[in-house]
Amino acid sequence: MIPDPAQEKRNQDVDSDKLLPLLEERSRLKEVLRLIESKGKEVSAEVFLRVRSDYQARLDGLNREINRQARNFETTLKDYRELVEHLERAVDLGVKSLEELKVRYALGEYLEEEFETIAREKKAKIDFYRGKIKNYRANMDRLENVLTHLETS
């Protein structure tokens, strides 16, 4: 069964909605670490190291979670690519099947009504697969944009 791209997009929206606050928090923690470094000489080395270590641990944990999310997105993107390949093959087979049907109709193997019914069904299936491909590609573009944003953050 082909997954519903609309449902998967809603799931990704939820995931990316969770990701945005993580990225914002990461930026905030990086800024705090810069501030800590700039104030390092104003406090004792022990206090400086303890506070910096605390914030660095928070940042490390946040980076692990962001990386986990990125791996999930990469896995989903890989799955989408595979689905698109399968769907493109299905479209190609459908187009060839429709072409064969037309040849067989021209040779008299089918009556006009029978030909029209079969051709309509084949066209509907091809259109369905093309629609799925379009939706998956849109989701792929969206995931690639999120991953690019993660890499540049």
pLDDT at 153: 65
CA distance 96 to 128: 16
Per-residue pLDDT band at 130 (split at 50, 70, 90)? very high
pTM score of the predicted model: 0.69
- CB neighbourhood size of 78 (10 A): 12
Per-residue pLDDT band at 146 (split at 50, 70, 90)? confident
Containing 145, the helix (H) or strand (E) segment is helix 112-152
> If you average pLDDT over each of 11-25, 33-47, 99-113, which comes out highest?
99-113
- CB neighbourhood size of 68 (10 A): 10
Q: Where are the chain's structural domains? A: 5-152
Share of the chain above pLDDT 90, in %: 75
Per-residue pLDDT band at 14 (split at 50, 70, 90)? very low
pLDDT averaged over every residue in the chain: 90
b (16+ CB within 10 A) / e for 10-47? eebeeebeebeebbeebeebeebbeebeeeeeeeeeee
Q: Which two tokens stand for residue 80?
A: 């989408």
